[in-house]
A and B are shown apart, each in its own frame.
Chain A
C-alpha cells in the first residue's frame, strides 16, 4: 500500500495495471489521453509487456481490446467522448457478444467543451447499449473501481463502461494503491459461438443481455460506490452522480447536509435506493454532470408524478459543467457574490506555435484562395483548426475526424470549385483514408492537403501512424503518382507551395499535396533530450 499523487486518468490507468490488465488500446483525445500515456510510462507495464501502443482510431482500438478480452485477458480501451461515436459499432455489438476476459471501455467526457466539438454524455450511450457503467467521483474511486469493474465484467461476461469527466480526468490527488494482481492466462471463451453475431446467435445473446439487466441492477444496489446518506429534512432529496457529489459535499464541509443524499457512481440506477429517496422526499434535486439523463428517466415524458428539479426546469443550467456554486444555488436559491472581471482583460485564444509549418501552409493557401473567394476550404480537427481564428480565417468547416475530405468531396459533387480539404497526418490515418478512396473511385475534382507535422500535435505529440507512410498510402489508395506531391512548408517555400496549389487546383481529379515538416514542439523536446 502506497499513497501517490495521480490525475484521475492516471489513477484509472494504475488501477488497471494493478488489477492485472494485459493490454490497453486507445487513440489520443482530451481529456482521456493521459490514461494510455501513464501505462506507457509505467515500469511494471514494461516488465509485464502490457500492450500499450496507440491505435489508428477508436474503432480499431475498441476492436483490438475486444479481441484481447476474447482471448481471456483483462483489457481496457480509452477514448474521449466523441471517440465513442467512432467506436460505436464495436461498442454496441460488444454488449451482445459480451466479454470473456475483463473488458473496460473508459470514456472521458468533456462537459463545457473545454477542448471538444460537443458535450455528449457517454452514460446515455452505455444505457443505449445496456452496459453497466461506473462513474467515479474522485481519484481514489477511479483506482478502486477498476478492480470491481474487471471482476464484474468477468462474472457477468459483459464489457463495463468507465465514465470520467474533464475535471476528474485532469485533477490530481492522493491515491492509495493496492498490491498488484497476476494477469489472466490465455483462455478462449467456453462457448465457441459467443462472439459470432449471426442473427440466430445474436437474437439469443441479446435476450441474455436483456435478462442480465436485473442482475446489473442488483450489482448497483449492492455497490460500495453507490451510497444512501440519510437526512432528517425530507422536504428535499438529492441524487448526485459522479463528480457532482463532490460539488454537493463542498457545500457541507463543516456542517451536515440536512437532506437525504443518494450518491450514484454505478449504473444501471440502483432501483431500490431510487425508490426509497423518491418516496420519502417531497422534492428531488438531481445533480448530474452532462445531460439530464436521470432527470429525464425519473420525470418521464408526461412529467405527471414526481417533483423533480434539475437541468430541465432551470434549477440548473441545461448545458455546461456543474460547479460548487451552481449546486449551492440549486439547493439554497442563493447566488454567490463575486468580483467581476475588469474590462481591461482581453481574450487570449490559443495560437499556432512560432515556427509551425501549418502557418506556412495557410499563408500559401490564403494567397491562392484570394483568387477564388471565401468558402472553398473544408478542414478537420487538429492544431491546424486554429486557422479558423484570426489572422488566417482560412477554413470553413471542422466537424468530426476525417470529415474534411468527405465534405470536400460532397461539396465538389455539388459543383463547388475549387474544393479543398485540409487534414492533419494523424487525422488522415484516423479516418481520412477511406474518404480519399471514395474520391479516387469517382475521380472527384478536388485537392487534399495533408498538413503533415509528423505527430499528433493537438493532444501533445503522440506517435502518428502516418509517419513516413503518407505517399505510400495515397498511392495504394489509387491517387495518381503525378498528383501526390510532398513539399517542405518553410517560409522560403511559400511561393512554390502556392504555385503547386494552383497547379493541382487546375487538374481535374484527385490531387494530394503533403507539406511535411516536423512539429516545433516535438522537435524541441527531441533536441533537449539529446
Chain B
C-alpha cells in the first residue's frame, strides 16, 4: 500500500440522487479522465483499488466522506486533488488528500469510523415546537434500551437494540410543521444504524408518529470521525 492516497470528499445537492454504485463509477471514470495511474486488484477480473469508508444512500448529501485509491506511481496529494477536482462533475469535490504513509497492514477506512453526525430535515407528524419536541425526544432517549423489529441482511425479521448507537439528538429548529435536527450516531464494531431507523424507533417508542418518514426526508452527513492512526 505504498502509493495509497486517502481523500476526503463532499457531495452536494446536484448529485444527491447518485446510488453508491453510480458514484463508484463516477470516481473510476474521473480517475481515468484525470489520468491517474490507478492500481488494479490481482486475479481474473481486475478492478481498480478504490475503497470508500461508507456507502452513500440515494438522496443523501455529505460534507465529509472518505475514500482511498491505490496508485502504481507516486502522485502528490496536491496534484491528485487538483486533477481530480477538474475531472469530477460539479456536485462531487475532493476536500483534502493525503498520502497514506503506514508500513504493513492498515486498518480499513470502514474499521476506522468512530461516529457520524447527521443533519436531518423533514416534516413533523405532530404539532409541536422546539422545546416540546426536544422533551419528547430526550424522554425517549432516557431509556437504556430501545428495541425495534428490523429485517436483517438475510431478510429475516429480528429484534434490534439500537440505543447504544444513538449518542445524541439535538433539535435545532421547528417551524411551519418542519424540523431541523442533528443526530450523532456511534459506530460499534463497524456497525451503526441509519438516521431513518432512529426516527422510526422514536416514532414506535412514542406510540404514534412524531416524524413524517416519507422519502422527502433530507439527510446530510456533516461529519465522519475516524480513529486517529
Do A and B pair up? The answer is no
**A interface, CB within 8 angstroms of B:** none
**B interface, CB within 8 angstroms of A:** none
